Amino acid sequence: MQPKSHTLFHFTKNLEFLKDILLNGFWPRFCLEDVKWYSSNDAQAAYPIVCFCDIPLSRVDEHVDFYGNFGLGVTKEWARLNRLSPVIYLNEGSAQQLALKKLFGENLKDKQFYCGAGDDINTIMTHVKPIEGKMFINGQFISKEFHQENEWRFAVNGKSSELKIAPFLYEHQFKNLKVLEAENLKAKNTYSLKITPSDIKYLFVKADADIPDLINFIQTELDHYTSSEIKILMSRVVSLETIRGDL
């Protein structure tokens, strides 16, 4: 069994979210991240990201139980072209973690290392996670082994003065629903990550009963694609209910 897949998977909670991705692209949402490795306290920060994983299909079952039973598999060629990158996992207390913490902290003293150093640090922060830590999901924090997820990410990065959204949100801002919804909506309208039928290798639905709904959506709402592309998309649809016994 290969330890990693040649496909990147993204899972979500319901069929409507999957349809929205097919129609509008992947939506970068602000997600709370465990930054204890950097801040030395339990505070979290939220970054605008889209998460994927390259775990083999044999491990997809455990992943969808946590993130949702609807999703897509996209090619790594598409990921590279769109500048996605694997997450850097840090062991707390390691030389690498301590070095990054010192570097980032020193930049906050007196003046920046150079003009734009803070923006570069934010770019790195969007792709650093502890090996294990706390994750905010369904309104509560849970413990998670992050390194098991083989995560890749798309993050909205750049000069903070030029971004049309906040580069990050503090935890109290994230928990303010008005602030969060406003920033997420701006991220969707400005930074959604587009895909085409040729980029997609799998379209996952929860059960066989969900297939007709998705097929109908592809035929009626994605008719701006060619008939060949529509046929490709329909051929990618598979239900987890059917393949679970073979995973």
What's the pLDDT at 3?
A: 53
What number is the average pLDDT over the span 114-137?
90
What's the pLDDT at 153?
A: 96
pLDDT at 42 exceeding the cut of 90: no
What number is the average pLDDT over the span 54-78?
87
Q: Are 25 and 195 in contact (CB under 8 A)?
A: yes
pLDDT at 1 exceeding the cut of 60: no
What's the pLDDT at 246?
A: 67
What number is the average pLDDT over the span 165-189?
95
In sign, the C-alpha dihedral spanning 30, 203, 65, 128 is negative
What's the pLDDT at 194?
A: 94
pLDDT at 36 exceeding the cut of 90: no
Q: Which long-range contacts (CB under 8 A, 24 or more apart) does 17-21 make?
A: 17/68, 17/70, 18/70, 18/71, 18/72, 18/203, 18/205, 18/214, 19/214, 19/217, 19/221, 21/72, 21/195
pTM of the model: 0.90
pLDDT at 162 exceeding the cut of 60: yes
pLDDT at 2 exceeding the cut of 60: no
